[in-house]
Amino acid sequence: MSLTELVNKIGYTKGYVSAVETGLSRATPAFLKAYERALELAPGSLAAFETGQVTNVSSVLATVQTGFGPSHNLEVVAAKPLSGRSTNGAVIEGVQSLLLQAIALVTAAAQHTPLPGAEIIVTFQSEHDPLTIYPDLAPTWRAALRQALNAGWNIVHLWRLHGATDRRFALIIKMLSMLGYRGQYLPYIFPPHIAPVVSTDLLIVPGQGALSMFGSRQARHVDTGFFFPADSSHFSMLSQYASTMRDQTQPLLEVFSERSLDFKTATLHIEAEPGDQLLLKEGLALQVMPTAVRAAYIERILQTETSRSEQEQISLRLWCQTLLEYHARGVLMFENYLRDGVYTARHIVAKSALEALFQRGELPVDDWLRNEANSQLTPEEVVLWVRHVIYLLENFPTYHLGLVDSLEDNLIPVYWKVEGRQTIILESWQQHDAASSKRDNVNILLHDPAIAKSFRDHFLAFWDGLPTEQVDKQAVIAWLNAQIVTLD
């Protein structure tokens, strides 16, 4: 039965029928009764919709709407367990059913250690992410991905950036929860000129199967799919197709380990690029810390007696020496940047972190030496650092500091900086709890003008919304001087 024939039988428009089938609209009792009569179903067969147990009816219509009946040896599924299926595949109807099936595939893979080189590949190309249709499933989907990552799976995610800058900003923030596990999360983006005519997406899970998804009733998001098990010829072809799609993309993130000196090298090159600098973090930037202060507490750390072996002590000293050299270069580059006066530097930091600095000498969270013994600054070192910040504020018109009581919850645990026109630097760390104990801290670089613009727009909107007393130079300097008085 075609959609047109069904519409004629039940007396509703095609748009309304499609919306109900994909879960975008709620089915009325009258609609459900007409639906049952048209399909010659027993009265009450769709009663679950009235109780909220089911949210779309598309799986009921799978064989009727698509024409794939038993003669095609495809079974109708709605995220059933993966065992006991036909070896030829299955038809899956409806956004919710597709998402549940995708979750089931990834969750099943997470129960097994991946073979060397095996990768889970998923694409999100639709104008509307299917998770926006069923947002309640988004946490479950991301939890399944994290479970697979923790099991050692690499996950390749092919994205197409749609929508406003706020959506792109939120997308990057969500990606951060996927980083730092045994397996690597590898997002790629399609160039904007390579666009699908209709929504079409893939999920490839080695050892479990492939899910080919597309928009059958509209072009904005996927609503139908074919499932093929891993031992089918379809799986091999779809895997090759996914590889071809990947060849058209470019990596979205560069990920570095927490204490990677390669990351420091990369950031120094980036900071030399022209453009404004926008920084949001919980404490003062290390690039405004005098090198003498950094050298003093590094030497104090190295002189502290610990259980480190002689070789470990030598390695730490060499590493700290290199770190200090990078720091000195960064401080000099930033002061030259301000002296040029061509571009503006705006830093937003939390007062709570500054209070911890004044009261206990605590270093910012992003300082790699923060957790070393005797890393706390002395009152004299704190005063030297803060007076240098005041000097920069008073002498360079293009340097601005905003003080906020606290940062937005969704920006923690992230320190980020927009450099120039196209690069974002992020340093992330985990809260100390059981859920994060399996993850490593990472540093991230993004090189994409569109995403950089979304972060820049978000920052400027945040800055413009701050009260005058939090961004006015004289008010900020007065607050800093008042804190210095407490240490004198």
Could you tell me the two tokens for 73?
Answer: 């040896």
8 A C-beta contact, residue 417 and residue 277: yes
Task: Give whole-number Cα distances, 276 to 255, 371, 400, 420, in Å.
Answer: 23, 32, 12, 5
Could you tell me the two tokens for 67?
Answer: 């024409």
Which residue type, as a one-letter code, is found at position 451?
Answer: I
Task: Give whole-number Cα distances, 364 to 259, 349, 422, in Å.
Answer: 15, 10, 26
> Cis bond leading into 229, ω under 30°?
no
Q: Which run of H or E residues covers position 202? A: strand 200-205
Amino acid 257: pLDDT: 85
User: E-assigned strands of 269-388?
Assistant: 277-280, 345-350
8 A C-beta contact, residue 284 and residue 402: no
> Residue ranges of the chain with pLDDT lower than 70?
1-28, 30-32, 35-36, 38-88, 126-128, 162-167, 192-199, 219, 408-415, 419-422, 428-438, 488
Instruction: Say how far apart CA 484 and CA 387 lie, in whole Å.
Output: 8
- pTM exceeding 0.85: no
Amino acid 1: pLDDT: 47
Which residues 6+ apart lie within 8 Å of 169 measured at CB? Answer: 451, 454, 455, 457, 458
Amino acid 305: pLDDT: 84
Amino acid 184: pLDDT: 93
Amino acid 112: pLDDT: 92
Q: In the chain, what's the furthest Cα-to-Cα distance?
A: 87
In three-state secondary structure terms, 320 is helix
Instruction: Say how far apart CA 327 and CA 67 lie, in whole Å.
Output: 66
Which residue from 480, 461, 483 is spatially nearest to 346, judged by alpha carbons? Answer: 461
In three-state secondary structure terms, 29 is helix
Which residue ranges form the domains of the chain, and what is each CATH number?
Answer: 1-57 (1.10.260), 73-251 (3.30.870.10), 256-485 (3.30.870)
Phi-psi region of 284 (alpha: psi -120 to 50; beta: other; left: phi over 0): beta
Which residue from 113, 91, 183, 119 is spatially nearest to 146, judged by alpha carbons? Answer: 183
Instruction: Say how far apart CA 160 and CA 175 lie, in whole Å.
Output: 14
Instruction: Say how far apart CA 98 and CA 116 lie, in whole Å.
Output: 28
Following DSSP, what letter does each residue of 210-245 receive, concatenated?
Answer: EEEEE-SS-SSS--EEEEEETTSHHHHHHHHHHHHH
Instruction: Say how far apart CA 443 and CA 468 lie, in whole Å.
Output: 33
Q: Which residues of 199-213 are buried (b: 16+ CB within 10 A; e: fewer)?
A: bbbbbbbbbbbbbbb
Instruction: Say how far apart CA 226 and CA 210 lie, in whole Å.
Output: 8
Phi-psi region of 23 (alpha: psi -120 to 50; beta: other; left: phi over 0): left
Amino acid 63: pLDDT: 27
Amino acid 3: pLDDT: 47
